[in-house]
Amino acid sequence: MLRVLLLAFSVVAVAHAELCKPDAQNAFKVRLSIKAALGDNAYAWDANEEYLFKAMVAFAMRRYSSKSTTQISNVLLCNVTDRVSFWFVVTDSTKNVTTVPGSEVEAAIRMNRNRINSAFLLNDKTLQFLEISSTLSPPVESSTPVWLTVFGVVLCLTVAGIVFLIVSGIQRHKKKSKESSETENLEEKCEVTVTIENGIPCETLDSKAGHVNGVYAADDERFTSL
């Protein structure tokens, strides 16, 4: 009995070994860079982490095709190296000793990449599924590009400055021309301005008729009569 069991076990093990080996059909290589991602907080890769990995892959397969009955035992890992890289393959429990097609596995992993990454505290670069390309995050685009906003602000300030300078220049020019026309009028007036001497207008002094000086006004009574 024991021998039969042992034989069956070894057959399964051999079959599994054949299913999971480097470059096998539908097998994927995984590479983790835990030290690069976490530095001092890096955890060691041991059997427990492997168990978690198998669980995450099974979870991904279940989520991808909801009818799937993938168990943790369906996920086979092999060739674990010090790099922390290994190959894995997902077997199909319904069909005997076959692997789930690579395209399905790829699609499942792709769909749940974020969940798998966060389970291990890694990202797309540090938890690499070679052959499964990750979808790059789209560039952050706002409705109006940022540069247009800044451009608009600077443009408005510059145009405002130009308009201000031009308008003040025109006003200054108008004031100057008004002032210069006023000074011209004033000059014309000045030519006929009366020149004043000792407070008495010269014209009156110039008059031919002459003026009688009130001080020396003849006072007949003062002169002695002959």
Partner 1 sequence: MEKSRPLWDNPLQFVFACISYAVGLGNVWRFPYLCQMYGGGGFLIPYFIMLIVEGMPLLYLELAVGQRMRRGSIGAWKTISPYLCGVGVASVVVSFFLSMYYNVINAWAFWYLFHSFQDPLPWASCPPNSNRTSYEAECARTSPTQYFWYRRTLNIAPSLEASGGLQWEQALCLTLAWLMVYLCILRGTESTGKVVYVTASLPYCVLIIYLVRGLTLHGAVNGLIYMFTPKLEQLANPKAWISAATQIFFSLGLGFGSLIAFASYNKPSNNCERHAVVVSLINSATSIFASIVTFSIYGFKATFNYESCINKVILLLTNAFDLEEGSLTADTLGAVRARLAAAHPHQYAELLPQLKNCSLEAELDTAVQGTGLAFIVYSEAIKNMEVPQLYSVLYFTMLLMLGIGSMLGNTAAILTPLTDSKFIATHLPKEVISGLVCFINCIIGLTFTMEAGNYWFDIFNDYAATLSLLLIVLVETIAVCYIYGIRRFEKDLQTMIGHKPSWYWKIMWAFASPLLIISLFIFYITDYILTGTLQYQAWDATQGQLVMKDYPGYALAVIGLLVATSTMCIPLGALVTFISRRLKRENISTVA
- Give contact residues for partner 1 (rule: CB under 8 A): 31, 33-36, 81-85, 133, 135-139, 146-148, 150-151, 154-155, 158-159, 161-162, 165-166, 169, 173
* 196-197 vs 75-78, strand pairing mode: unpaired
Least distance (Å) between residue 33 CB and partner 1:
6
Which two tokens mark 186? 């004033």
- When the beta carbons of 103 and 137 are compared against partner 1, the nearer one is 137
Question: Which DSSP state fits 193?
Answer: P
The CB-of-14 to partner 1 minimum distance in angstroms stands at: 24
Q: How far is the CB of 97 from partner 1 (least distance, A)?
A: 28
> Could you give the maximum distance between any two Cα atoms of the chain, in Å?
192
Residue found under tokens 């079959």: 15
Alpha carbon of 13 to those of 17, 25, 29, 78: distances in Å?
Answer: 6, 17, 20, 12
Phi and psi at residue 38, in whole multiples of 5°? -110, -10
Please, what is the minimum distance in Å from the beta carbon of residue 64 to partner 1?
19
- Residue among 147 and 216 whose Cβ is closer to partner 1: 147
* Minimum distance from residue 61 beta carbon to partner 1 (Å): 23
Alpha carbons 156 and 162: distance in angstroms, whole number: 10
Nearest to partner 1 of 118, 133 (CB atom)? 133
Q: Quick one: 17 or 150, whose CB is closer to partner 1?
A: 150
Residue closer to partner 1, measured from CB, 69 or 179? 179
Sequence-separated (6 or more) residues with CB below 8 Å from residue 84 = 31, 32, 33, 34, 45
Assign 99 to helix, strand or coil: strand
Q: Minimum CB separation from partner 1 for residue 98, in Å?
A: 28
**Dihedral (C-alpha) 120, 121, 124, 129: value to the nearest 10 degrees?**
-10
